[in-house]
Amino acid sequence: MNIDTCRDQADEKNGITGTVAGFSGVRQFNRCHRWMGRAAVASVCALSCALAFAASPASTVTAAPASGAASMVRPIPPLLPATPAAPASASQPASAPVAAPDAGRVADPRRALLMRNTFAREVTRRLKVPAVDQAAYGVRLQAALAAKDLGGLAGEYVVLVDRNAKVQALFIYFRATPADNWQMIGASPVATGRPGEFDHFITPLGVFEHTPDNMDFRAEGTMNQNGIRGYGKRDMRIFDLGWAEGERGWGKGGVSQMRFQMHATDPDRLEPLLGIRHSKGCVRIPASLNVFLDHHGILDAEYEALVASGQSLWVLHPDRQATPWAGRYIVVVDSGRKTRPAWSPAPGSKAHAKMPAGGDNAD
């Protein structure tokens, strides 16, 4: 069915049913607490930024801006080394977590950029994006947020996806204050909607909020009739973004409702194809990136607000290490590139050879 193309019903029917049943009773309670969580996060970020930046000078290294965007790009700090991790200082032992508070019990927002090192250690499928492209995508991110009256967003991580057929990449960004440029934490290949076949949508553009109003769930890890685990191996998290207007990629086109999600895919047969359009409209991501986003709560600002209010959410693992700079937005853009950049290579023939018959029909 068109309206639910992003749910792999053959693979995950039980998981979805359990999720809906388990959380239908708390939806009203969730909504009552969402504004409280947002206010708390905003207050912490404002206090943190004020304390941190009053004591430290701004960096002065400048990245080369993209063409046409020079006036929009401010000086940005250099990238922290990914591997090995940044050396420890006397005030910050090597074992100190990224989010360790200072003497005033405030987590310095500049430390959010240390997540680059964690990304490099934990995410196996990474893209080495040049500084000029990092800056250009930061400008695109800011433009997309500003178009939705979110131009002042800061102090939290944001996920950006370029659905362009020549790119197919996901980026994680952060900035401490609205006056700063968006800084890239890491990037990975993805697969977005591939038009040309029935029930395949073009991944929608826009700013999408990750909220418990569309409660996430976890993969069962079961295979469909084509031997594909549509949501990936068991326990992978499905980031559910709710209903969205999607452009039909078949027939005469037009727009229909689709269920928009971001999730892992079959690790053996379809993950090697990340880097080209290959889904039914959702955003497929590497399994290691799925675990990274989940374990560190990169997009869990509103989920953590519910936990702070006293709720227990089964979808959140008890051993997670939630960041104090959790965000809630996934932004999808199209860069309009006509040629594939060297930093985002397409999968080779060996990857295509792993795809079984009917693999194109998995979400």
- In the prediction, which pLDDT does 97 show? 55
**Rounded to the nearest 5°, which phi and psi values hold at 73?**
-105, 120
- In the prediction, which pLDDT does 362 show? 55
Helix (H) or strand (E) holding 210: none
Point out the residues of the chain with pLDDT beneath 70.
1-106, 351-363
Name the token pair of 254: 């037009």
How far is Cα 280 from Cα 275, in angstroms, rounded to an integer? 15
Burial class (CB in 10 A: 0-12, 13-18, 19+), 128: exposed
How far is Cα 318 from Cα 311, in angstroms, rounded to an integer? 13
Q: Which residues contact 245 (CB under 8 A, 6 or more apart)?
A: 204, 255, 256, 257, 258
- In the prediction, which pLDDT does 6 show? 45
- CA distances to 18, 112, 148 from 141, rounded to whole Å, are 35, 18, 11
- In the prediction, which pLDDT does 125 show? 97
- In the prediction, which pLDDT does 348 show? 86
Q: Cα torsion at 141, 259, 189, 120 (round to 10°)?
A: 80
pLDDT tens track for 177-196:
999 999 999 999 999 999 98
Please say whether the beta carbons of 283 and 251 come within 8 A.
no
- In the prediction, which pLDDT does 358 show? 59
- In the prediction, which pLDDT does 360 show? 56
Query: What's at 221, amino acid-wise?
Result: G
